[in-house]
Structure 1
């Protein structure tokens, strides 16, 4: 299987985390986002949205990182990241969807303003956008932090796709200046994820900003 990706893309990191944890070999093909390669005809033929990652499994092209990680789990006999019973599966899916709709969206604003703009020469952060991102972050981080009280993992009392999905959206927490200080449960949970072999093996070199 081939993965079209960029190492600083949280969505790409999500797939790499799961593939590494499940010991699924992927041929990694870099898509040069700063140079706009994702908007070229070749990549648009793989993903009309012009985004990464894209999985190519013998001609089956799959985009959307959470769909990809579910697919990888489904293809792995004996995996435990995606439950097989209806309620367990729904519980994990609930957090995948929540991550996509809420937490990741809030984080993305701050990643763009505090990290991407500086790194790509687009000027300084827009204070109004930073304020909007921080307000959304506070709203959604409180939900996650409260949920994690007394829990080691997000769902099913074990490591699941929900943990990898959410953790990937915090992968640039440092350079993006995500305001995690008030959320002890999230910080403790992130610490557990960051101790996993998959996290360490997929960590990209962090550029200076």
Structure 2
């Protein structure tokens, strides 16, 4: 299987976390985002959205990071990251969809303004940072309260939900994500960051 990715992409990171945890071998193919390779004809042929990651499994092309996460889990016998029973699976999916709709978009605005733009010579838009921080403040308390009595996000064990959300916070430090007031999220992040999969997928950049 080939994974078209970029190491600083949170969407790529969540797929790498799952593949690494499950020992799924992937041929990594770099898509040079700063140079705009994602908008080139070749990559648009793989993903018309012009984004990473994209999985190529012997001609089966799959984009959307959380769909790839689930696909890798489904192809791995004996895995425990994605339940096979209907209720357990729905519980994990609930958090995958919540992350995609709420938490990750809020974090992404701040990451783009405070980390990506300065890295690529752009100028931070204070109004956009404020918008991202407002969205972050709207959604982070829900996750923090949920984690108050839990070690992991779903099913009382490590699941795709943890990797999905942790990847959204991967650049928390350099992007200055406002996590300081959320002790339960911070403690949970420390647990995720202690995992071998996290350490083995760490990009060459300031840690969050």
| Alignment TM-score > 0.5, same fold | yes
Cα distance in 2 between the residues matched to 1:53 and 1:143 = 28
* Cα distance, 1:169 vs structure 2: 0.5
- 1:97 is matched with 97
Quote the residue 1:181 is aligned against. 180
- Deviation by residue 1:57-86 (Cα, 9 ceiling, x = unmatched): 000000000000000000000000000111
Q: Detail structure 1 runs of 4+ shifted over 3 Å in the superposition.
A: none
1:207 Cα shift? 5.9
- State how 1:1-209 maps to structure 2 within 5 Å: 1-123=1-123, 125-206=124-205
Please give the secondary structure, in 2, of the residue aligned with 1:45: helix
Aligned-partner SS, 1:177:
coil
Taking the aligned partners of 2:156 and 2:83, their CA distance within structure 1 comes to 12
SS of alignment partner, residue 76 of structure 2: coil
Q: CA RMSD in A?
A: 0.9
What SS does structure 2 have at the residue aligned with 1:187? helix
Query: How many angstroms apart in 1 are the aligned matches of 2:141 and 2:134?
Result: 11
The TM-score normalised by the length of structure 2 is 0.98
8 Å contact from structure 2 (residues 174, 206) kept in 1? no
Deviation per CA, 1:87-107: give whole Å up to 9, x if none.
000000000000000000000
- Indicate if the aligned counterparts of 2:80 and 2:159 stay in contact, CA closer than 8 A: yes
- TM-score, structure 1 as length reference: 0.98
Structure 1 unaligned regions, length at least 5: none
CA distance in 2, matches of 1:122, 1:176: 14
